[in-house]
Amino acid sequence: MKQYLRLLQYIKPYRWRIVQAIICMIVAAAANLYMPWIIKDMIDKVLAEKDMETLNMICIGVIVIFFVRGFFYFGQSYLISHVGQRVVLDIRNALFAKFQRLPVAYFDRHQTGEIMSYIANDVATVQNAMVEKLIDIVTEGAVFIGSLVMMFMLDWQLSLLTLITVPLVGVSMRVFGRMIKNSGAAIQSRLSEFTALMQESLSAERVVKAFGREKFEIERYCKQNEKNFAASMKNVRLTSMLTPTIEFIAAAAATALIWFGGKEVVDGRITAGTLVAFLTYAVNMSNPLKRLSRAYAGIQQALAGAERVFGVLDLDEPITDRPGALTLPPASGRVRVEDVSFAYNEGVPALSHVSLAAEPGQMIAFVGPSGAGKSTIANLIPRFYDVDSGSILIDGHDIRDVTIDSLRAQIGIVPQETMLFSASVRENIRYGRLDATDEEIEAAARDANAHDFIMALPEGYDTRIGERGLMLSGGQRQRLAIARAILKDPQILILDEATSALDTESEKIVQAALDRLMVGRTSFVVAHRLSTIFGADQIYVIDHGEIREHGTHEELLAAKGLYAELYALQFKK
* Domain that includes residue 146, residue range: 2-313
Q: Regarding predicted confidence, which is higher, 444 or 69?
A: 444
Give me the pLDDT at residue 540, please: 93
287 and 341 in a common domain: no
Q: What is the DSSP letter of 118?
A: I
Is 473 part of any domain? yes
Please give the span between the terminal C-alpha atoms of the chain, in angstroms, as a whole number.
Answer: 73
| 431-459 CB burial, b ≥16 within 10 A, e <16 | bbbeebeeebbbbbbbbbbbbebbeebee
358 and 296 in a common domain: no
Is 322 part of any domain? no
236 and 342 in a common domain: no
Give me the pLDDT at residue 515, please: 80
Of 135-144, 152-161, 355-364, where does the model show the most confidence? 355-364
Q: What is the number of domains present in the chain? A: 2
| 81 has a pLDDT exceeding 80 | no
Residue 513 pLDDT grade (very low, low, confident, very high; cuts 50, 70, 90): confident
Q: How far apart are CA 125 and CA 123, in angstroms?
A: 5
Is 321 part of any domain? no
Give me the pLDDT at residue 337, please: 93
Give me the pLDDT at residue 228, please: 75
Least Cα distance to 43 among 275, 279, 283, 262 occurs for 275
Residue 177 pLDDT grade (very low, low, confident, very high; cuts 50, 70, 90): low
Q: Regarding predicted confidence, which is higher, 8 or 414?
A: 414
442 and 371 in a common domain: yes
Q: How far apart are CA 68 and CA 74, in angstroms?
A: 10
| pLDDT tens per residue, range 282-336 | 666 666 666 666 677 667 767 777 788 888 888 888 888 888 899 999 889 899 9
Is 159 part of any domain? yes
349 and 308 in a common domain: no
364 and 513 in a common domain: yes
Report the residue count for the chain: 573
List the alpha helices (DSSP H) in 267-324.
Answer: 272-313
Is 386 part of any domain? yes
> Mean pLDDT throughout 28-55?
67
Last-in-domain residue among 278, 313, 348: 313
Give me the pLDDT at residue 281, please: 67
Is 457 part of any domain? yes
DSSP 527-573: -SSGGGGTT-SEEEEEETTEEEEEE-HHHHHHHTSHHHHHHHHHH--
Q: In this structure, what are the phi and psi dihedrals at residue 232, rounded to the nearest 5 degrees?
A: -65, -40
400 and 275 in a common domain: no
Name 93's Cβ contacts closer than 8 Å, sequence gap at least 6: none
340 and 300 in a common domain: no
- Residue 388 sits in a domain whose CATH number is 3.40.50.300
365 and 302 in a common domain: no
Write the secondary structure of 13-62 as one string of H (helix), E (strand) and C (coil).
HHHHHHHHHHHHHHHHHHHHHHHHHHHHHHHHHHHHHCCHHHHHHHHHHH
Is 325 part of any domain? no
* Residue 215 Cα distances to 203, 204, 212, angstroms: 16, 14, 8
Give me the pLDDT at residue 168, please: 67
CA 194 to chain centre: 15
Name 360's Cβ contacts closer than 8 Å, sequence gap at least 6: 332, 333, 334, 491, 522
289 and 417 in a common domain: no
- Residue 42 sits in a domain whose CATH number is 1.20.1560.10
* Residue 477 Cα distances to 428, 429, 437, 442, 511, angstroms: 10, 11, 21, 16, 13
Please, what is the average pLDDT of the chain? 79
Is 469 part of any domain? yes
Write the secondary structure of 363-418 as one string of H (helix), E (strand) and C (coil).
EEEEECCCCCCHHHHHHHCCCCCCCCEEEEEECCEEHHHECHHHHHCCEEEECCCC
Give me the pLDDT at residue 477, please: 86
Least Cα distance to 367 among 534, 539, 492, 493 occurs for 539
| 84 has a pLDDT exceeding 70 | yes
Q: How far apart are CA 48 and CA 269, in angstroms?
A: 17
Last-in-domain residue among 282, 313, 344: 313
Q: In this structure, what are the phi and psi dihedrals at residue 351, rounded to the nearest 5 degrees?
A: -135, 140
411 and 292 in a common domain: no
| pLDDT tens per residue, range 326-354 | 999 988 989 999 999 999 888 788 999 99
Residue 473 amino acid letter: S
Whether 455 and 442 have beta carbons less than 8 Å apart is answered as: no
Q: What percent of the chain has pLDDT over 70?
A: 75
Last-in-domain residue among 313, 348, 376: 313
Residues facing 393 on adjacent strands: 336, 398
197 and 132 in a common domain: yes
28 burial type by CB count under 10 A (0-12 exposed, 13-18 middle, 19+ buried): buried
